[in-house]
Amino acid sequence: MEQQRESPGPPWRRWVEGAGRGLGWRSALLVAVLAQAGTGWAAQAQTGRVPLDVWARILLLLGPALLLLRHRHPVAVAYAVGAVTLVYLAAGYPYGPVFVSFAVACFAAVISGHRRAAWGAVALLWTGHLLIGHWLYQRLPPPGDGPAPWARELGITAWILAVLAVFELIRVRRDQWSRERSERAAAARRRADEERLRIARELHDVLAHSISVINVQAGVGLALLDTDPEQARRALTTIKAASKEALGEVRQVLDTLRAPGAAPRAPAPGLDRLPELLEQAAAAGLTVHTSTEGRARSLPPGTDLAAFRILQEALTNVVRHSGSRTARIRLGWLPDTLELRVDDDGPATAAPAGGSGNGLAGMRERAGGLGGTIEAGPRPDGGFRVVARVPLKPVPHQEAP
């Protein structure tokens, strides 16, 4: 059965999904270097802020250091980095890449499924920044500082909204990727189950028919071994031919397991092999009369195989379960349906017939897979009847049963 490989997706998807798991301390180190160097460069243009000192450097390092724990404790790290950022701003130090640590912490919270916690941390930082810039600035350094200009507040608000929009986009895409993975896994399991069912059905139909013929002929051979050696020889010849054919068909089914997707070495059986099927039934002591109504047409491979297997299984059930040694097959070629009818006159035998008891279920599965139906049951005048109706036009996405 062919395994479908999962599409790796675009490179940026792999980076987003692995951000922090494979990067880990490397991404935290990158943020630390960016915060130290970027803030030092930005401080040169902000003469009104408190100059960078050792405490400022420690705060700029503390945020990236907390990022090392963001995958184990994403919510706590998001709020902790937000608190460190607020302390840095309250101390009056220059603006710069100090917000990068906070953005990474919130990003980790979002992708780990803590969306509300990330929004809460952003709201707290934004509210704290407003309070510092428009109310607490008189009690905080630098001395003589005035209220923050609203243009800067609007810029920071726009930056926060943009970051949140990116987080939401990433969250939506991750949810889509997760659903796609689940759907692909479910589809792969469904294909595997269908393939296992198909192979089990093929093996059942091949072995049930052939072993039924072998069982009957073995009984004939044993009964006539002393009194009619020539008839016993013919029975053994039939056993040899039936077993050879069964081995060939089983080998063909097993080849599909060893080489998935490869073309079969022999064509799948169809209604063109009906005369051969009748010969095998005759070898098992069953006389079969056939009739046809309507104009015969060529069938799609899947429909042709299903029709052959349904007839094969119906005749096998007659050999196993019916006391009648005569059966009748009628092929009805309707405008858009092929009707297969198999009758025997019964009565049912009381002797155990062996087998798995899955014959009728297998026929229903084959017909149902093609959009058809199976009716099976006793006839009013005695005996048993199986009627299968399958559409002549394949249903969409039809595969060989």
How confident is the prediction for the chain on average, in pLDDT? 81
When pLDDT is cut at 50, 70 and 90, the band that residue 389 belongs to is: very high
- Which pLDDT belongs to residue 319? 82
State which of 148, 163, 194 marks the end of a domain: 148
* 400 is a domain residue: no
Terminal CA-CA length for the chain: 14
Q: How far is Cα 327 from Cα 342, in angstroms, rounded to an integer?
A: 7
Q: How far is 370 from 364, CA to CA, in rounded Å?
A: 10
Give residue 48's pLDDT: 80
Are residues 301 and 204 part of one domain?
Answer: yes
Q: Is the per-residue pLDDT at 5 higher than 80?
A: no
Query: Which DSSP category does 325 fall into?
Result: S
Going edge to edge, which strands form the sheet with 337-344? Answer: 287-293, 326-333, 337-344, 384-391, 373-378
Question: What is the four-CA torsion angle of 16, 21, 25, 27, rounded to 10 degrees?
Answer: 0
Q: Is 59 inside any structural domain?
A: yes
The pLDDT-based confidence of 8 (bands split at 50, 70, 90) is very low
Length of the chain in terms of residues written: 401
Q: CB–CB of 252/305 below 8 Å? A: no
C-alpha closest to that of 164 among 129, 115, 130? 115
Radius of gyration of the chain (CA): 39
Name the β-bridge partners of 322.
348
Domain holding 206: CATH number? 3.30.565.10
Regarding whether 346 and 234 lie in a shared domain, the answer is yes
- Give yes or no: residues 224 and 344 share one domain: yes
Structure tokens at 355: 């087998």
Residue 165 located in a structural domain:
no
User: Where is the domain boundary, 148, 174, 206?
Assistant: 148
Exposed (0-12), middle (13-18) or buried (19+): which is 120, by Cβ within 10 Å? middle
Q: Residues near 298 by Cβ (< 8 Å), separated by ≥ 6?
A: none
Tokens linked to 32:
């630390």
Confidence of residue 16 (pLDDT cuts 50, 70, 90): very low
Q: Of all residues in the chain, what percent carry a pLDDT higher than 90? A: 30
Place of tokens 């087998």: 355
Given a contact cutoff of 8 angstroms between Cβ atoms, the answer to whether 336 and 392 are in contact is yes
Tally of structural domains, the chain: 2
In this structure, are strands 326-333 and 287-293 parallel, antiparallel, or unpaired?
A: parallel
Q: Which two tokens stand for residue 330?
A: 């009628």
Lowest mean pLDDT among 225-239, 273-287, 361-375: 225-239
User: With 80 as the cut, is the pLDDT of residue 2 above it?
Assistant: no
In this model, does residue 19 exceed pLDDT 90?
A: no
CA distance 346 to 330: 17
Q: Write down the pLDDT at residue 158.
A: 87
Residues 242 and 330 in one domain: yes
- How many Å apart are CA 29 and CA 53, to the nearest integer? 20
Domain match, 52 and 116 both: yes
387 strand-pairing partners: 341, 375
Q: Quote the domain boundaries for residue 375.
A: 186-391
Whether residue 279 sits in one domain with residue 138 = no
Mean local confidence (pLDDT), 302-322 = 87
The pLDDT of 365-375, averaged and rounded, is: 88
pLDDT band at 149 (very low <50, low <70, confident <90, very high): confident
Q: Which of 77-81, 161-165, 193-197, 315-319 has the highest mean pLDDT?
A: 77-81
Q: Which two tokens stand for residue 390?
A: 């399958």
21 belongs to a structural domain: yes
Spatial distance between the Cα atoms of 182 and 185, rounded to a whole number of angstroms? 5
Query: Nearest-5° angle of CA 139, CA 43, CA 56?
Result: 60
Whether residue 134 sits in one domain with residue 254: no
Does the pLDDT of residue 18 top 70, yes or no?
Answer: no
Q: State whether 24 and 122 are in the same domain.
A: yes
Distance of CA 290 to the CA centre of its chain: 44
Check residue 213 and give its pLDDT: 73
What tens digit of pLDDT does each residue of 187-218 get?
888 887 877 777 777 777 767 767 777 777 78
Q: What is the pTM of this model?
A: 0.48
148, 166, 201: which is the final residue of a domain?
148
Residues 194 and 105 in one domain: no
Which residue carries 């077993």 as its tokens?
Answer: 243
User: Within 10 A of 308 (CB to CB), how many other CB atoms are there?
Assistant: 23
305, part of any domain: yes
Report yes or no on 119 lying in a domain: yes
Tens digit of pLDDT for each residue in 288-304?
999 999 999 888 888 99
pLDDT in tens, 113-140: 898 999 899 999 999 988 988 888 778 8
- In a domain, residue 286? The reply is yes
Which of 40, 118, 15 lies closest to 74 in space, CA to CA? Answer: 118
Measured between alpha carbons, how far is 38 from 41 in angstroms, rounded to an integer? 5
pLDDT at 9 over 80: no
CA distance 95 to 46: 8
Q: Are 2 and 261 within 8 A, CB to CB?
A: yes
Other C-beta atoms lying within 10 Å of the C-beta of residue 294: 13
Angle between helices 98-111 and 115-134 (to 10 degrees): 150
Flag whether 339 is in a domain. Answer: yes
pLDDT digits (tens, 9 = 90+) for 331-341: 999 989 999 99
Whether 134 and 209 map to the same domain: the answer is no
Residue with tokens 């022999």, as numbered in its chain: 266
Residues 67 and 123 in one domain: yes
**Same-domain check for residues 118 and 207:** no
Contact 208, 355 (CB under 8 A): yes
Q: How far apart are CA 340 and CA 307, in angstroms?
A: 8
Could you tell me the pLDDT band of residue 383, with boundaries at 50, 70 and 90? confident
